[in-house]
Amino acid sequence: MSTDFDSASSMPLHPAAQETLLAALERGYADPRRLHGSARDARLLLDNAREATAQALGVRPDEVSFTATGTEAVHRGLLGLAHRGLRDGLPIAHTAVEHSAVLHAARWAGTPLSVPVDMLGRVVLSDIPATAAVLAVQSANHEVGTIQPVEAASDQTGAPVFMDACASMGRIALPDGWSAAAGSAHKWGGPAGVGILLVRKGARWRNPFPGDDRVDERTAGFENVPAILAAAASLQAVVTERAELNARHRELIDVVRARVAAEVPDVEVVGDPDQRLPHLVTFSCLYVDGEALVHELDRRGFGVASGSSCTSSTLTPSHVLEAMGVLTHGNVRLSLQRGAGRQPVDAFCDALPDVIGSLRARVGL
């Protein structure tokens, strides 16, 4: 049986999401724009989901919109804030460690400006431009877990701030300082196919894509009402339990960080050791191919991710680790699920030295 240590990519459905989704399937199928009874039912569910999401995140209900994916929420949030500055010829500024969804949108819109980070992955505040079409600063990094100083970054610029919160939404409280933000339900245990777009009241945001005749002008297309309601229910549950869960996860990740550094030679544990997401750790192993390491750990029953080395899909190293100036070879990202305990974490740490040793031996090291 495999132990899944890749919850940063996607979490299993939270029990609250499962229960709510099944209950909502019968009531939430209709078009919430219509006026008949079934449509009013769907509209009520959608409004309830918006209220619950706003309450869980500490924002206004009219600041919450639901998109088809987290990536769509990123694109709409970022480009919607940038429209005025792009018209005036200003660049989209972003930290060098933003998710590829941000980088692709910035390149699509014009000439982006990358803001450097330090070796922990934290943005260098003094290098933030005073003006830009928009400044993209993630709440926490999806690969190394480092939490960004979003509010301090917003104080450095006159540009509106877009915050990609897909890696952290629900797990930690949202900081201040942003005008628009994005989240992704399957990252916290909601259904896949639900994104969260937050736009602050009074923000100068404009829909960057063709319009639609939906009630919410910030989105397009037919809402998946049952999935949205399940996403909201699971978000509320995650926020309620996160103090206990984060404390347990932080303790387990501290074990991994300490044992990997002590027991595996030529390894670098990366990211901020303190100001970080509690459930995630990344380390890089010299003289080891990341893809081979993932396959060998999977063969032994441990599911992990690798964001560096040459992979069959991209053939490029992790841009995050490169921007940090740390080792990119043999990278492993381990991220814990809700029910993770000490025994599987210790089993992983017990197996790791032999796995890495055997891979190095294959290349004569």
- Catalytically active residues, by annotation: 310
CA-based radius of gyration for the chain: 21
Cα(287)–Cα(274) distance, integer angstroms: 28
Distance CA 4, CA 8 (A): 11
The torsion angle over the Cα atoms of residues 362, 7, 26 and 239, rounded to 10 degrees, is 180
Sign of CA dihedral 41, 76, 6, 256: negative
- Residue listed under structure tokens 């404009």: 206
Q: Looking at the chain, which runs of residues are DSSP E strands?
A: 3-4, 64-67, 92-95, 112-115, 134-136, 161-164, 180-184, 195-199, 267-270, 280-285, 302-303, 331-335
138 half-sphere exposure, CB direction, 13 A CA radius: 30
Q: What SS3 class is residue 296?
A: helix
